[in-house]
Amino acid sequence: MQSDRGNPRLKFLDRYLGIPIVGVLGVAHRLRGRHAVPETWSSIGILLTAGIGDAVVATGVLADLRAEFPDARIVLFVTANNASFARLLTVPDEIVELPVRQVWRAVREVRARDLDLIVDLGAWRRFDAVLARLGGARAAIGLRTPGQHRHYAYDVVVDHQRRHEIENDRRLVAALGLVSNSEPSVPMPATTAPLADPYVVFHLWPGGANFEERSWPIESWKAVAAEMAARGFTIVLTGGPNEFDITQTIVDDWTAAGIPVRNAASGSWSESLAWLAGSAGVVSVNTGVMHVAAAVGAPTVALNGPTSGTRWGPRGPFTRCVASPMVPDGYLNLGFEHDDRFARCMEAITVPMVLEAWDSLRAEASIAGR
């Protein structure tokens, strides 16, 4: 069954049913009057229904919320797209997985938490806006994103800006009087590196829409792996449960070519965190694992084709973005657009470009003792 994330039917319904629903809710809301953020409040819901990367980026804001409002009850609302990762987080008092195919049940789940405030960190889904409006909170805060027609549902509206998405998250919580400056961070389980010998993690598999366009050619990955092996590294390939078999095919091919390589796809998040944190570094397409790797402090090289490193690049102590010369700052705005002119933009990233970024990053990390 196709994942809900990137599901074209759900996107169609979200737009062509969601926009009029939000419009009607907005009219009714304006007639009653929008509410200001209450001076005192004790509970807050955070809507975070998109991907793992969005959840990682939001961890800085969540940490600052907890530090500023230590007695507040924080409820994080997620979906099947990011729930497995979100359950690692220690800041929320409760994590609620919402059913995106059952809107009214999702509304009931939100209302059952009896929240004072709702902050919607999403940029385009009308599903989120409906939940924010009908969630029963005293005030709802969300983004006005050009062309998405979703902001009518909110009491406090913040204009979405084409900066790194962490800045949009920070501007949303600024409506609470909170100055958020923390960078993303991921709680680490007590563990040691799975391998004693030095290794590099490769993550080949982008999530969400435009999978093929955001993938780097396997032949290029193999060439980088051969170079890493020549430098004394074992290669570890990560991936989700559905990617174990295809990853094993690659492992078999590279092993036959004399490249030391391990298949770590389909592991638990605790296992994946151990692989990432214990590595000499990570090379990844721009996807959730890339954000996780950077947040746990692993030196991270991100390969960006249609995705803008400025907007969605990794945030961490040691990072590099390698952009496609065909479209240096990407063209994606909200993540699901498509432009045939750049369908092969990832192929324009060369092996020497990636190795140059790796060498520069490793030198920087070594000076810092990483």
* Residue 227 CB partners (closer than 8 Å, separation 6+): 351, 355
pLDDT tens-digit readout, 262-295: 999 998 999 999 999 999 999 999 999 999 999 9
To the nearest whole number, what is the mean pLDDT of the chain? 94
d(CA 225, CA 231): 10
pLDDT tens-digit readout, 14-43: 998 999 999 999 887 777 778 899 999 999
**pTM flag (> 0.85):** yes
pLDDT tens-digit readout, 116-175: 999 999 999 999 999 999 999 999 999 999 999 999 989 999 999 999 999 999 999 999
Q: Encoding tokens for residue 80?
A: 């099947």
pLDDT tens-digit readout, 206-225: 987 778 899 999 999 999 99
d(CA 225, CA 227): 5
Quick one: the chain helix, strand, coil %, rounded to 5?
40, 15, 45
Contact 44, 116 (CB under 8 A): yes
Contact 154, 132 (CB under 8 A): yes
**pLDDT reading at 4 higher than 70:** no
Report which DSSP code applies to 233.
P
Q: What is the pLDDT confidence band of residue 259, given thresholds at 50, 70 and 90? A: very high
Q: What is the largest CA-CA distance in the chain?
A: 70
Q: Which residue has the higher pLDDT, 113 or 212?
A: 113
User: What's the N-to-C CA distance of the chain in angstroms?
Assistant: 42
**pLDDT reading at 3 higher than 70:** no
Q: How far are the Cα atoms of 48, 73, 141, 177 from residue 44, in angstroms, in the given order?
A: 13, 6, 11, 14
pLDDT tens-digit readout, 39-81: 999 999 999 998 999 999 999 999 999 999 999 999 999 999 9
**pLDDT reading at 260 higher than 50:** yes
* Residue 211 CB partners (closer than 8 Å, separation 6+): 6
What pLDDT is attached to residue 130? 96
Percent of the chain with pLDDT over 70: 98
Q: Which residue has the higher pLDDT, 156 or 192?
A: 156
A 10 A CB-CB count for 74 gives 18
Q: What is the pLDDT confidence band of residue 5, given thresholds at 50, 70 and 90? A: low
- 75 beta partners: 45, 94
pLDDT tens-digit readout, 309-345: 999 999 999 999 999 999 999 999 988 888 999 999 9
What pLDDT is attached to residue 2? 40
Q: Which of 215, 285, 218 is nearest to 257 (CA)?
A: 218
Contact 72, 42 (CB under 8 A): yes
What pLDDT is attached to residue 1? 32
Look up residue 62 and give its amino acid: L
β-strands 156-159, 199-203 pairing: unpaired
